[in-house]
């Protein structure tokens, strides 16, 4: 067995990004991935004979620009069928509203002039705020402490960007940064479909409702992302999200990274109180001086490291880190094209009839219940290109919210109820769709946890919310990728800047490791 300088646990997009960056810095890197294929939530899957679907993630809107160019993903096969995916706020009467261009630069559909005008003003404001926040994604979260190793140059640029907003906008920025999205949309808009869409987008992947404090910042975070190199754009990779996983694997391997799949890490080897390698589930030991965990922080510490190697206060903090998932993933094999009352199947179809409906759907999970009328985001990959379903057939991929991560009714009953309620919502918006379904699969948050290892099934490996952001992510004291165990680093979505098919956390972590090694 050759020796390695670095072991990366978890070959998700963050693990692969970190591995590539560290390998190209001159280190020998081994990635250990438990699944049969690396790529984590980006890996595509055949869920019914002849039907392929993105495993979890189905839209690219967060891919880190450094990862895109640093890993040269284009050269390794990543292309996009579209980088300007439109969003359709579906109406049950066919009166749809279509937002086109990045973050809805234009709106098609019947909407009042006032709303149209106010939306454009609000969009501009939100985008300017997002522009201020965007650079944060590409740096280690700063800490308020002496010798914290803050990236002062980049932070100064952030300060400058803030100043560039001008006095009035800066005041608005401070007013709005911690506000809830419900108040913001209701201050500016009246159209239910538009408000439904915006509040859906803000709470996608979170455990917050539109009225929960701080929910606007998640919308800003979303807008601060990039799809195919464009701010706030939604992109669909050619060949589906699986293509991102494939390109990253190819690039990492080409750079010299060793990748082992089917290798589940069971525990961290600790010698002289520092990381010495890992032990696999089959008992095998692999040694390296640097171990980078690109899986959930909670599992990393509570299981791989174990409380006995950690301080009690730290264990408590990690144990209390919130990691509730509320996004379920629905996959349907359809024997024909569904008809969403004339909506373009190449659009991102959103069923979120109003901001209040989004709130009501969230309300249920607070009590461990399944919402009567869930809200959802639908992508139909087979409408864009062949290769996802047999000719004439279609694949529907939807993120359905909000699903309880610990249902009162029990796992199976809740899954069945969620599926039924989701199908009923679909039928309401696309009459006849149920008759087209030949196979249906619904992954509840706990199913996602079991299959992907995301604690609580949470999108971000730990909720992304103000109290778990920046220097508080994943928890205070370990926000700069280093951990209390020397030689053990974090690099997954549980770290700053959070989740999404992005690689930002992994890249940041690698940069930090390289920098600390030099210091």
Contacts with other proteins, residue ranges (CB under 8 A)? 273, 302, 306-316, 319, 484
Tell whether residue 448 is a contact of ligand FAD (CB under 6 A): yes
Burial class (CB in 10 A: 0-12, 13-18, 19+), 93: exposed
For ligand FAD, give the closer residue by CB, 189 or 478. 478
Rounded Cα distance between 48 and 332, Å, is 9
Stretch that binds ligand FAD, among 58-66, 88-96, 163-171, 252-260 (CB under 6 A): 58-66
For other proteins, give the closer residue by CB, 270 or 505. 270
Least gap, CB of 255 to ligand FAD (angstroms): 17
208 near 363, Cβ under 8 Å?
no
For other proteins, give the closer residue by CB, 119 or 471. 471
Q: Which residue has the tokens 């066919």?
A: 94
**Binding to ligand FAD in span 427-446, by CB under 6 A:** none
Kindly tell me the sign of the dihedral angle through the C-alpha atoms of 310, 312, 317, 322: positive
Rounded Cα distance between 242 and 355, Å, is 32
Least gap, CB of 493 to ligand FAD (angstroms): 3
For ligand FAD, give the closer residue by CB, 188 or 377. 377
Stretch that binds ligand FAD, among 54-62, 86-94, 338-346, 388-396 (CB under 6 A): 54-62
Among the listed residues 232, 370, 454, 510, the single contact to ligand FAD using CB under 6 A: 454
Q: What are the φ and ψ backbone dihedral angles of 194, each rounded to 5 degrees? A: -65, -45
Q: How far is residue 40 CA from its own chain's centroid?
A: 11
Q: Which residue has the tokens 């640029």?
A: 157
Going residue by residue from 471 to 500, which x/- string records binding to ligand FAD, judged by CB under 6 A?
---------------------xx-----xx
For other proteins, give the closer residue by CB, 242 or 462. 462
Tell whether residue 206 is a contact of ligand FAD (CB under 6 A): no
Give me Rg for the CA atoms of the chain. 22
Tell whether residue 115 is a contact of ligand FAD (CB under 6 A): no
Rounded Cα distance between 386 and 408, Å, is 41
Q: Give the orientation angle of helix 181-188 with respect to helix 192-203, to 10 degrees.
A: 160
**Binding to ligand FAD in span 296-355, by CB under 6 A:** 327, 329
Stretch that binds ligand FAD, among 53-61, 216-224, 354-362, 428-436 (CB under 6 A): 53-61
**Binding-residue total with ligand FAD (CB under 6 A):** 39
- CA-nearest of 245, 270, 244 to 259 is 245
Among the listed residues 6, 18, 59, 189, the single contact to ligand FAD using CB under 6 A: 59
Contact of residue 484 among other proteins, ligand FAD, none (CB under 5-8 Å per partner type): other proteins
Tell whether residue 15 is a contact of ligand FAD (CB under 6 A): yes
203 near 181, Cβ under 8 Å?
yes
Rounded Cα distance between 388 and 160, Å, is 47
Rounded Cα distance between 327 and 446, Å, is 10
Tell whether residue 57 is a contact of ligand FAD (CB under 6 A): yes
For other proteins, give the closer residue by CB, 170 or 314. 314
Contact of residue 392 among other proteins, ligand FAD, none (CB under 5-8 Å per partner type): none
Burial class (CB in 10 A: 0-12, 13-18, 19+), 275: buried
Contact of residue 353 among other proteins, ligand FAD, none (CB under 5-8 Å per partner type): none
Contact of residue 380 among ligand FAD, other proteins, none (CB under 5-8 Å per partner type): none
Peptide bond into 474 cis (omega under 30): yes
Least gap, CB of 209 to other proteins (angstroms): 30
For other proteins, give the closer residue by CB, 305 or 444. 305
Tell whether residue 11 is a contact of ligand FAD (CB under 6 A): yes
Q: Which residue has the tokens 């201020």?
A: 132
The Cβ of residue 17 has, within 10 Å, a number of other Cβ atoms equal to 31
**Binding to ligand FAD in span 361-420, by CB under 6 A:** 399
Among the listed residues 35, 217, 248, 444, the single contact to ligand FAD using CB under 6 A: 35
Rounded Cα distance between 178 and 221, Å, is 12
- Pairing mode, strands 258-260 and 29-32: parallel
For other proteins, give the closer residue by CB, 46 or 273. 273
For ligand FAD, give the closer residue by CB, 55 or 191. 55
Tell whether residue 14 is a contact of ligand FAD (CB under 6 A): yes
Question: Which secondary structure element, helix H or strand E, spans residue 141, and what is its range?
Answer: none
For other proteins, give the closer residue by CB, 321 or 508. 321
- CA-nearest of 69, 140, 56 to 450 is 56
Burial class (CB in 10 A: 0-12, 13-18, 19+), 120: middle
For other proteins, give the closer residue by CB, 50 or 307. 307
The upper half-sphere exposure of residue 1, i.e. CA atoms within 13 Å in the direction of its Cβ, equals 10
Contact of residue 10 among ligand FAD, other proteins, none (CB under 5-8 Å per partner type): ligand FAD
Q: What are the φ and ψ backbone dihedral angles of 237, each rounded to 5 degrees? A: -65, 145
Residues 6+ apart with CB under 8 A from 359: 182, 199, 209, 210, 211
For ligand FAD, give the closer residue by CB, 119 or 507. 507
Query: Residue 369 has which token pair?
Result: 């219940």
323 near 161, Cβ under 8 Å?
no
Tell whether residue 62 is a contact of ligand FAD (CB under 6 A): yes
Catalog residues that contact ligand FAD under the rule CB under 6 A.
9-15, 32-35, 40-41, 56-59, 62, 205, 264-265, 294-295, 327, 329, 399, 448, 452-454, 457, 459-461, 492-493, 499-501
């Amino acid at each position: 067995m050759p020796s390695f300088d670095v072991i990366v646990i978890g070959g998700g997009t963050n693990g692969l990004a970190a591995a590539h960056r560290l390998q190209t810095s001159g280190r020998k890197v081994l990635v250990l991935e438990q699944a049969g294929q690396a790529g984590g939530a980006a890996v595509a899957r055949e869920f019914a004979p002849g039907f392929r679907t993105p495993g979890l993630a189905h839209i690219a809107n967060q891919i880190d620009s450094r990862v895109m160019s640093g890993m040269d993903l284009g050269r390794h096969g990543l292309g996009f069928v579209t980088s300007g995916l439109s969003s359709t706020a579906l109406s049950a009467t066919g009166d749809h509203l279509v937002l086109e261009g990045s973050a809805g630069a234009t709106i098609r559909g019947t909407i009042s002039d006032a709303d149209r005008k106010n939306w454009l003003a609000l969009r501009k404001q939100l985008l300017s705020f997002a522009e201020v926040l965007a650079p944060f994604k590409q740096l280690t979260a700063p800490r308020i402490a002496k010798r914290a190793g803050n990236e002062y140059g980049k932070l100064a640029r952030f300060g400058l960007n803030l100043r560039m907003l001008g006095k009035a906008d800066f005041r608005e920025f401070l007013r709005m940064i911690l506000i809830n999205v419900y108040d913001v949309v209701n201050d500016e808009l009246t159209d239910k479909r538009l408000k439904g869409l915006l509040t859906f987008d803000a709470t996608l992947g979170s455990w917050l409702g539109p009225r929960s404090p701080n929910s606007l910042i998640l919308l800003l975070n979303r807008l601060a992302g990039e799809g195919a190199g464009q701010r706030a754009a939604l992109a669909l990779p050619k060949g589906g999200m699986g293509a991102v996983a494939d390109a990253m694997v190819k690039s990492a391997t080409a750079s010299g990274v060793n990748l082992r799949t089917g290798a589940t890490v069971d525990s961290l080897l600790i010698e002289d109180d520092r990381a010495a390698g890992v032990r696999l589930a089959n008992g095998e030991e692999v040694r390296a001086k640097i171990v980078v965990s690109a899986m959930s922080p909670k599992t990393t510490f509570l299981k791989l490291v174990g409380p006995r190697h950690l301080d009690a206060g730290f264990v408590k903090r990690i144990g209390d880190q919130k990691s509730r998932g509320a996004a379920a993933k629905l996959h349907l094999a359809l024997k024909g094209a569904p008809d969403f009352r004339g909506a373009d199947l190449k659009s991102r179809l959103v069923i979120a009839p109003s901001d209040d409906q989004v709130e009501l759907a969230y309300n249920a999970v607070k009590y461990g219940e399944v919402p009567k009328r869930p809200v959802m985001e639908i992508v139909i990959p087979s409408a864009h290109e062949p290769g996802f379903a047999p000719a004439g057939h279609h694949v529907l991929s939807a993120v359905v919210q909000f699903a309880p991560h610990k249902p009162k009714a029990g796992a199976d009953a809740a899954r069945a109820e969620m599926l039924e309620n989701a199908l009923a919502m679909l039928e309401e918006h696309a009459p006849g769709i149920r008759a087209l379904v030949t196979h249906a699969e619904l992954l509840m948050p706990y199913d996602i946890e079991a299959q992907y290892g995301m604690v609580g099934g949470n999108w971000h490996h730990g909720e992304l919310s103000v109290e778990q952001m920046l220097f508080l992510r994943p928890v205070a004291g370990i926000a700069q990728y280093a951990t209390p165990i020397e030689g053990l680093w974090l690099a997954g979505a549980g770290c700053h800047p959070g989740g999404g098919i992005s690689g930002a956390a992994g890249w940041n972590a690698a940069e930090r490791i390289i920098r600390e090694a030099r210091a």
